[in-house]
Amino acid sequence: MTGEAPSSVRLPPLAVLGAGHVGPVIARVAIEAGFRVSIAASGDPAKIALITEVLAPGAEPRWAADAVEDSEIVVLAIPLHKFATFDAALVADKLVVDTMNYWPPIDGVQEMFEDRRYGSSELVARRLPRSTIVKTLNHIGYHELEDERRPVGSPQRRALGVAGDDPGAVDVVADVIERIGYDTVRLESLSAGRLLQPGGPVFGVSLRRTEFEATVRAEAA
């Protein structure tokens, strides 16, 4: 469905942190696209072995530190309320994909995300100063992520936004998104990633690339 990478192409290993609703789906679609994926929760990997086997076959459940150490990209898919106690040193010097959302009706009020001068991923970046943060995969439902994948060139191929301050990191993450079955629209900064948040114009909306780009431009005008 997604068009696998040529065998000569080396894909970066991924570590997915979070074994709730979102993490296993991300792991599953990444594995199907040819990526090597480790998955970790907050404790003993034995506790998520069955979940992994059922929901993300092919992913390796590991201790978080080991998964991160062996990865080139870390996908942060933990419940937002747990981020306040997240160990920043765990992902130091790593490219981190922030898939989380601050959504008070769902998560309750989280004091550290109440500073409205910043988008939620900007606040994540401020707390993870040694990591490179890219925001994506937060504006599509986990239940849609698998079903809405389409091959390159399909007229039904949905677009997803990828936002970050480091263009090289954005390119790396955009390539992952393309490989799992989506077109990408690069946003020029982590601040622009606010458009991807709950209440933003593309949150939860299925748009093709041209529609997505037009919506983002209209919002920025």
Structure tokens at 146: 């698998």
Q: Tell me if the pTM is above 0.85.
A: yes
User: What would the pLDDT profile of 17-29 be if each residue is shown by its tens digit?
Assistant: 999 999 999 999 9
> What is the reported pLDDT for 108?
86
The CA-to-CA distance between both ends of the chain, in Å, stands at 36
User: What would the pLDDT profile of 157-181 be if each residue is shown by its tens digit?
Assistant: 999 999 999 999 999 999 999 999 9
Given a cut of 80, whether residue 122 has pLDDT beyond it is: yes
What one-character DSSP code corresponds to residue 74? E
- Residues whose CB falls within 8 Å of the CB of residue 139, separated by 6 or more in sequence, listed in order: 160, 161, 196, 197, 200, 202, 203, 204, 205
- Residues whose CB falls within 8 Å of the CB of residue 181, separated by 6 or more in sequence, listed in order: 1, 2, 3, 29, 33, 148, 149, 150, 151, 157
> What is the reported pLDDT for 27?
98
